[in-house]
Amino acid sequence: MKIWVDADACPGAIKEILFRASERTRIPLTLVANHVLPVPPAAWINFVRVCSGFDVADNEIVRRMSPGDLVITGDIPLAAEVLEKGAEALNPRGERYSHETIRVRLNMRDFMDTLRSSGVQTGGPSALGAAEKQAFANELDKFITRVLAAQKADK
């Protein structure tokens, strides 16, 4: 099991939570971005730089990930692909994507795109607050606890 991060738009505070979790559990963590990002010097934390372009980082994550992995992304189409491949997806605000909710999320995204393209100002997401950081840390911890418990049971 590995954790993949769509790192171009991932907030720094969320990356720090991920670094600490990876260091604590030694679960492999890979950040994928189209520009250089600093990562702590640890054997289980990696960085993959991809060239600039539409969905290049997303495509690289989908190409490299495996069923059972966790992908951190706010990109709903990427989350949908991740779920289709048998992995899990979590956004930086602590919302877990699921097969039950991804269609609704995709439809809402498309609707908001249509509004924006017709000139309606929809605004962006609010700033990441303490509650969202805590929600993310809690969901990440639930995932790690579940995976580690399953690994122990398999031994």
For the stretch 16-50, pLDDT in tens is 999 999 999 999 999 999 999 999 999 999 999 99
Q: What is the pLDDT of residue 112?
A: 65
Residue 75's domain comprises 3-154
Q: What is the pLDDT of residue 127?
A: 83
Spatial distance between the Cα atoms of 145 and 134, rounded to a whole number of angstroms = 16
Q: What is the pLDDT of residue 111?
A: 63
Q: What is the pLDDT of residue 106?
A: 66
17 or 121, higher pLDDT: 17
Spatial distance between the Cα atoms of 94 and 14, rounded to a whole number of angstroms = 10
Instruction: Read off the DSSP letter of residue 95.
Output: P
Rounded to an integer, the average pLDDT of 118-138 is: 85
How many folded domains does the chain comprise?
1
The enclosing domain of 51 has a CATH number of 3.40.50
Rounded to an integer, the average pLDDT of 49-54 is: 92
The predicted-structure confidence for 68-119, as pLDDT tens digits, reads as follows 999 999 999 999 999 999 999 999 999 999 988 877 776 676 666 776 777 7
Closest Cα to residue 24, out of 149, 150, 141?
A: 141
> Is residue 123 scored above 70 in pLDDT?
no
Q: What is the pLDDT of residue 107?
A: 65
Helix extents (H) in 41-121: 56-64, 76-84, 102-117
> Is residue 120 scored above 80 in pLDDT?
no
